[in-house]
Amino acid sequence: MSLELRGVTKTFGSLVANDNINLKVDDGEIHAILGENGAGKSTLMNIVYGLVQPDSGEFLVDGNPVTIHQPADALAVGIGMVHQHFMLIPVFSVLENIILGHEQSTKIGSLESSAAREKILKLASEFGFHIDPDAIVENLSVGVQQRVEILKALMYDAKILILDEPTAVLTPQETDEFIEIMKKLRASGTAIIFISHKLREVKAVADKITVIRQGKVVAIADPKSTQEELASLMVGRPVNLTEKKTIHHDNAVVVKVSELNIADEVGRPLVSNINFEIHKGEILAIAGVQGNGQTELANAMVNLHKNVHGSILLDGQEIVGLSVNKSLHSGIAYVPESRELDGLIGKFSIAENLILDTHHEQPFAKGIFMSNKAVEEEAQKKVVEFDIRTQSIDAPVSSLSGGNKQKVVLARELSRPVRLVVACQPTRGLDVGAIEFVHKRILEEREAGRAVLLFSTELDEVMTLADRIAVMYKGEILSIVDASATREQIGLLMAGVKS
Amino acid sequence: MKKMSVARKRTLRFLIILGALNLLALAKFGFGNHSTLSTTYGLVLGHEWIILHSVVVKSSTGSTFFALLGLLGCGLGFLFFKLNKTSLAGISIASISILFSFICWAATGKFIPLTGLLQGGLMLAVPLIFGSMSGLLCERSGVINIAIEGQLLAGAFASAVVASVTHKTMLGLIIAPIAGAAVSVLLATFAIKFGVDQVILGFVLNVLVYGLTDFLYKRLLIPYQSTWNQAPSFSQISIPILGKIPIIGPIFFDQTIIVYLMYAIVAAISYGLFRTKWGLRTRSVGEHPEAADSVGIDVNKLRFRNVVIAGLVAGLGGAYFTIGSVGSFGKEMTAGSGFIALAALIFGKWTPKGAILAALLFGFADNLQGTLSIIGVSVPSEFMLMVPYIATIIAVSGLIGRVRAPAADGVFYSRGESH
Ligand SMILES: Nc1ncnc2c1ncn2[C@@H]1O[C@H](COP(=O)(O)OP(=O)(O)OP(=O)(O)O)[C@@H](O)[C@H]1O
Ligand SMILES: [Mg+2]
């Protein structure tokens, strides 16, 4: 089926999120949408799916006008969507999440899910996924949850499939598999709208690329364009995708982790025998496929994990067992993996989120009172410095686009005097312009003599930034190599092959 | 040393406390009771098939037995704890044993009508069960229901008045759920349509129903009692065969129609919530309304419907106070049952089974206090009345495992508001 949007406009207060957008997706076409964080991509897709009401605009399916006021209308005309923010119910099983809204009942009214179960397993094996239909979603890693989202969209034979950053949390291998899935669907006539910040993927699958900037369509690009060309179309200026860095050696050790072990609630090991050092002005990247203990190790660095044994010395001082607050104030900046869940308080304003960690200190606190003026000034400053795209510093942080949320976290964490920066997936979901910015900031921290511990599943990012690369596999550090290692060597290590 | 999670530590601590209490019971009620007197347990209420003889047990022996059973329960709980399974069964055995050990001691030399004690407990639990089912339906769909008390009271009032005026208990039975649902419609309209704070709203609705019934009671039901407040009441129906089983029969199967309806409702909700399409959708809107919306479920319509059904259930429960037992209406006769029902729901961890067990426990504790004072054991009545509240505090403090309310409980949903 084909889908056409005509003159879609949506404003939030004075902000024009979508400005008279026209878009046409034919059947059997993969139509990529590129745009900076906050360009209005998700808003547009949510409008098509009926989750957001447009101010004006019309939709045509196969040339016939349709009205979409709610998701049920979109589903009825055959539109399926993978949302940027998971639409999964954490306490439900995979199966329950997938059949929700499409339940089959037996004659006596009880749920009949054996057909759905079979179909899930069939789809999963067809696409090379491994999935347990009875696993509870909250116990699954983000990568697996993403697969569940994708399965949900594939289950009911959507004729028009909207994919809002489906690959943001997938590993390179998973992404490759996913690209194959998209190609198969295209071959079967499905129209696909694909949103991604990863230009490599977009170039690999897209038949057509629409570029959106500040709510307007600015270009229809050819997938054969180079990454640099696409990037500058999005951002409106030339982008330097490969940061150059200077290696320098400074031998003072800032962080020394020795014999670190982390166990889960019942004592099963999650992470074992971790040993590493990070020097002043050095970036140590922890690479690896999602779910190999990186999250636990990162949490342990600021004592967010309970069952930690071993030692972490920060400038010679033991920090294992400190409170989270003390850990942070002993000089650690912490950028958590999930910004919505752990990095920000959605209902608080941008200004408030920027001082979450220092609200009790001068100049934000004056005795028992808060100094709103100081808070405001700080926010104004950071919004400019980190290029946070927002209408107002008083807007709730939940109204920001994904990339801008990440900038708020970074702005807050890098404002304290720190010795160690722990950054987990700092560029997940960010546009190329923002990635360039974040990389620049991380390198600046390094130049300023800080130690940086970078957790990333993005091989490109690891290769660009790291001075040394540790690869984690099944809770252990398989090997620590230096930056001259090749992509292939690291890829093998990530797969658990130790040469 | 292996560290433990907070919840597990609490469970362990609770088991240790229970063990210590059982030891104490063993020492004080068992070995410390030097009286040679016995306690007599009556096991018969009347028309069972086999008339069991009363059981006579030396009090100290009884206490000792139950204290030991309690220790066994603790051991069992600990074993399951070590195996990483739920220790709930062990904890239940241990807690109930302490109670019985205490009863044996308290009733030294006296007669305890055991069957009657249990039957009375069930009777007191009936409105609690209705109320907690109402709360369950609402909260599982994401609407906090503090107005259970008001729904019960409205049902009690309406059924008494209608049954009095028409002289038909059946009509009273029909009007009671409608009255409860009327309260629900107010709750649903303001909570779901207009996003009013649900706790405040529920509180206000309770005050409203209290005020309205008090007013009508004083102006209408007292002055014109013979027409307005002399309701007939249902009589017990003994189920053939089942009603004649010793002990169980008279407790469960010699009841009024309202109690039988309760069995049906409880069964329907327990099954429906976890086995049907309706149940899956209900739980989904209570957990994550955006996700439910995104698969085409009309969140607010489903919530509205469930809140109204909840009102029907609680209203019917209200009828139990009047036409289900004494007939006529008394001022504020629900006396806080709605709040205890809410406590049962929380103590039961928002599950049908848990809520019913909690309601039964609370009903039993209430009745025990009455029975003990009748047979002349003086336990301060306030002590037993505290049971539901203490139990709830224990529950929410996580002593018996994690208690988690539905994630979107009390959260107003409007499409596009959140991100
Ligand atoms: N509910 C809302 N209320 C107010 N502003 C909103 C709301 N939803 C989105 N916005 C704003 O609209 C703009 C577009 O947001 P949108 O989420 O569509 O961006 P995006 O292109 O998907 O970005 P990203 O790549 O970061 O996901 C942003 O500036 C965002 O802050
Ligand atoms: Mg988006």
d(CA A55, nearest CA chain B) in Å:
13
For ligand 1, say whether the CB of A406 is within 6 Å of any of its atoms. Answer: no
Query: Atom of ligand 1 at shortest distance to CA of A402?
Result: 26
- Closest CB from A72, A76, A91 relative to B287: A91
Query: What integer pLDDT is reported at residue B316 of this predicted model?
Result: 97
pLDDT in tens, B51-106: 777 788 888 888 899 899 999 999 998 888 888 777 778 888 888 888 888 888 88
d(CA B271, nearest CA chain A) in Å:
9
State the average pLDDT over residues A21-35: 93
In a domain, B402, yes or no: no
Could you tell me which residue, B322 or A356, shows the higher pLDDT? B322
Helix B59-82 to helix B6-25 angle (10° resolution) is 160
**Both B125 and B105 in a single domain?**
no
In Å, how far from its chain's centre is CA B115? 19
**Both B174 and B255 in a single domain?**
yes
- Going by the DSSP 8-state scheme, the letter that residue A279 receives in this structure is E
- Asked which of A240-249, A345-354, B198-207, B215-224 is least confident by mean pLDDT, the reply is A240-249
d(CA A155, nearest CA chain B) in Å:
12
d(CA B284, nearest CA chain A) in Å:
7
Number of domains in chain B: 2
Query: What integer pLDDT is reported at residue B122 of this predicted model?
Result: 93
Partner-chain contact A51 B416, CB within 8 Å: yes
Which amino acid residue places its CA nearest to atom 12 of ligand 1?
A17
Residues in chain A: 499
Contacts of B288 in chain A (CB under 8 A): 87-90
Query: What integer pLDDT is reported at residue A77 of this predicted model?
Result: 92
Question: Is the CB of residue A374 less than 8 Å away from at least one CB of chain B?
Answer: no
Element spanning B91, H or E = helix B88-106
Whether the CB-CB separation of A19 and A39 falls below 8 Å is answered with no
DSSP output for B267-333: HHHHHHHHHBHHHHHHHHHHH-HHHHHHTT--HHHHHHHHHHHHHHHHHHHHHTTIIIII-S--TTT
Domain boundaries, chain A: 3-235, 253-494
Q: In what side-by-side order are the strands of the sheet with A191-195? A: A79-82, A160-164, A191-195, A30-35, A208-213, A216-221
**Both B160 and B11 in a single domain?**
no
How many angstroms does the Cα of residue A206 sit away from the middle of ligand 1? 23
Contacts of A49 in chain B (CB under 8 A): 294
For ligand 1, say whether the CB of A389 is within 6 Å of any of its atoms. Answer: yes
Contacts of B293 in chain A (CB under 8 A): 51, 70-71
In a domain, B149, yes or no: yes
How many angstroms does the Cα of residue A14 sit away from the middle of ligand 2? 19
- Closest CB from A85, A87, A110 relative to B275: A110
Nearest residue on chain A to B281, alpha-carbon basis:
A100
pLDDT in tens, A62-97: 999 999 999 999 999 999 999 988 899 999 999 999
For ligand 1, say whether the CB of A288 is within 6 Å of any of its atoms. Answer: no
In this model, does residue A48 exceed pLDDT 90? yes
Q: Are strands A332-335 and A420-424 parallel, antiparallel or unpaired?
A: parallel
Query: Atom of ligand 1 at shortest distance to CA of A84?
Result: 27
Q: Is A313 left (phi over 0), alpha (psi -120 to 50) or beta?
A: beta
**Both B143 and B95 in a single domain?**
no
The residue ranges of chain B whose pLDDT is under 50 are: 1-3, 418-419
Tokens 């208690």 map to which residue? B403
Distance CA A252, CA A265 (A): 36
**Both B105 and B121 in a single domain?**
no
Q: Closest by alpha carbon to B228, among B152, B303, B295, B163?
A: B163
Query: What integer pLDDT is reported at residue B400 of this predicted model?
Result: 60
Residues measured by CB to lie within 5 Å of ligand 2, the ion: A 42, 84
How many angstroms does the Cα of residue B164 sit away from the middle of ligand 2? 63
- Residue in B295, B297, B300 to test binding to A, most A beta-carbons within 10 Å: B295
**Nearest-5° angle of CA A180, CA A183, CA A188?**
130
Which amino acid residue places its CA nearest to atom 22 of ligand 1?
A42
**Both B55 and B128 in a single domain?**
no
Among the bound ligands, name the one nearest to the CA of residue A392.
Answer: 1
How many angstroms does the Cα of residue A399 sit away from the middle of ligand 2? 11
Element spanning B160, H or E = helix B148-166
pLDDT in tens, A185-226: 899 889 999 999 888 899 999 999 999 998 999 999 998 988
Asked which of B93, B109, B125 is the last residue of a domain, the reply is B109
Query: What integer pLDDT is reported at residue A177 of this predicted model?
Result: 81
**Both B97 and B122 in a single domain?**
no
**Which CATH architecture best describes the domain A253-494?**
3-Layer(aba) Sandwich (3.40)
Partner-chain contact B416 A53, CB within 8 Å: yes
Query: What integer pLDDT is reported at residue B1 of this predicted model?
Result: 35
In a domain, B91, yes or no: yes
In a domain, B411, yes or no: no
**Both B223 and B365 in a single domain?**
yes
**Both B103 and B168 in a single domain?**
no
Partner-chain contact B298 A101, CB within 8 Å: no
- Closest CB from B280, B293, B407 relative to A71: B293
Residues in chain B: 419
Among the bound ligands, name the one nearest to the CA of residue A405.
Answer: 1
Identify the domain containing residue B72 by its residue range.
Answer: 6-109
d(CA B192, nearest CA chain A) in Å:
18
Query: What integer pLDDT is reported at residue B364 of this predicted model?
Result: 86
pLDDT in tens, A285-307: 999 887 788 989 999 999 988 88
Whether the CB-CB separation of A416 and A378 falls below 8 Å is answered with no
In a domain, B413, yes or no: no
**To the nearest 10°, the Cα dihedral for A57, A59, A64, A68?**
-110
**Both B105 and B181 in a single domain?**
no
Indicate the CATH number of A3-235 among 2.60.120.10, 3.30.470.20, 3.90.1640.30, 3.40.50.300. 3.40.50.300
How many angstroms does the Cα of residue A83 sit away from the middle of ligand 2? 9
Computed over every residue of chain A, the mean pLDDT equals: 88
Partner-chain contact B293 A263, CB within 8 Å: no
Tokens 């020795």 map to which residue? A258
Asked which of B58, B85, B109 is the last residue of a domain, the reply is B109
For ligand 1, say whether the CB of A17 is within 6 Å of any of its atoms. Answer: yes
Partner-chain contact A70 B283, CB within 8 Å: no
Positive/negative CA dihedral, A89, A90, A92, A98 = positive
Partner-chain contact B295 A83, CB within 8 Å: no
ipTM above 0.90, yes or no: no
In a domain, B41, yes or no: yes
CATH of the domain at B246: 1.10.3470
Tell me the CB-side half-sphere exposure of residue B46, using CA atoms within 13 A. Answer: 7
**Both B23 and B43 in a single domain?**
yes
Query: What integer pLDDT is reported at residue B49 of this predicted model?
Result: 67
How many angstroms does the Cα of residue B246 sit away from the middle of ligand 1? 68
Query: What integer pLDDT is reported at residue B293 of this predicted model?
Result: 94
In a domain, B129, yes or no: yes
**Nearest-5° angle of CA B378, CA B382, CA B388?**
120
Query: What integer pLDDT is reported at residue B2 of this predicted model?
Result: 43
State the average pLDDT over residues A14-35: 92
Among the bound ligands, name the one nearest to the CA of residue A346.
Answer: 1
For ligand 1, say whether the CB of A40 is within 6 Å of any of its atoms. Answer: yes
**Both B217 and B94 in a single domain?**
no
- Closest CB from A103, A105, A266 relative to B84: A266
- Going by the DSSP 8-state scheme, the letter that residue B236 receives in this structure is P
Most confidently modeled range among A136-150, A245-259, A446-460, B189-203: B189-203
pLDDT in tens, B331-356: 999 989 999 999 899 888 899 998 99
Could you tell me which residue, A255 or A402, shows the higher pLDDT? A255
In a domain, B308, yes or no: yes
How many angstroms does the Cα of residue B65 sit away from the middle of ligand 2? 66
